[in-house]
Amino acid sequence: MSADDKQRISQYFSAFNHADWEGMLSALTDDVRLEINGGQAIVGQKAFTEHLSENKMHFLEVFSDVHIVAGSSPGEYAVDYVLSGQYLSSAPGLPPARGQHYRLGGQANFAMRDGAIARIRMTLDEDGRRAQLADD
């Protein structure tokens, strides 16, 4: 495992937790590809920034318990984490927002290129989040 790659991935999560969007973007390639739960890919820093803006309208989230391990190929990494959040405003497909809190386990796969994050595949327990938002 490259110490530089591990540091870059850690920088990404730390920047997210501090709402440092510029710090997050500086960890990414210009053509970064984000895939969440196998949905439509978000490609490029502009689309990534738009996704962040949309997400922060609805959720206040923090990653914790981040564990990074080397993947099966050079430059690939697997990450387990816990995502804790508060639901701020109603989002399509989710129950009405009332300030509910949630906590979910998740996984991600990162691919690095030239010292930057080129691809992120995240898996979140959306059914678990939906249930926590409905029960709160």
What is the third-level CATH fold of 3-135? Nuclear Transport Factor 2; Chain: A, (3.10.450)
Measured between alpha carbons, how far is 136 from 130 in angstroms, rounded to an integer?
Answer: 10
Tens digit of each residue's pLDDT (9 = 90 or more) over 37-59:
988 899 999 999 999 999 999 99
Count of alpha carbons within 13 Å of 48, Cβ hemisphere only? 23
Q: Lowest mean pLDDT of 13-17, 42-46, 71-75, name the range.
A: 71-75
Tens digit of each residue's pLDDT (9 = 90 or more) over 54-66:
999 999 999 999 9
pLDDT score, position 73:
93
Q: Evaluate if pTM is beyond 0.85.
A: yes
Average pLDDT estimate for 126-131: 88
pLDDT score, position 91:
92
Domain positions in the chain are 3-135
In angstroms, how far is CA 69 from the centroid of its own chain? 17
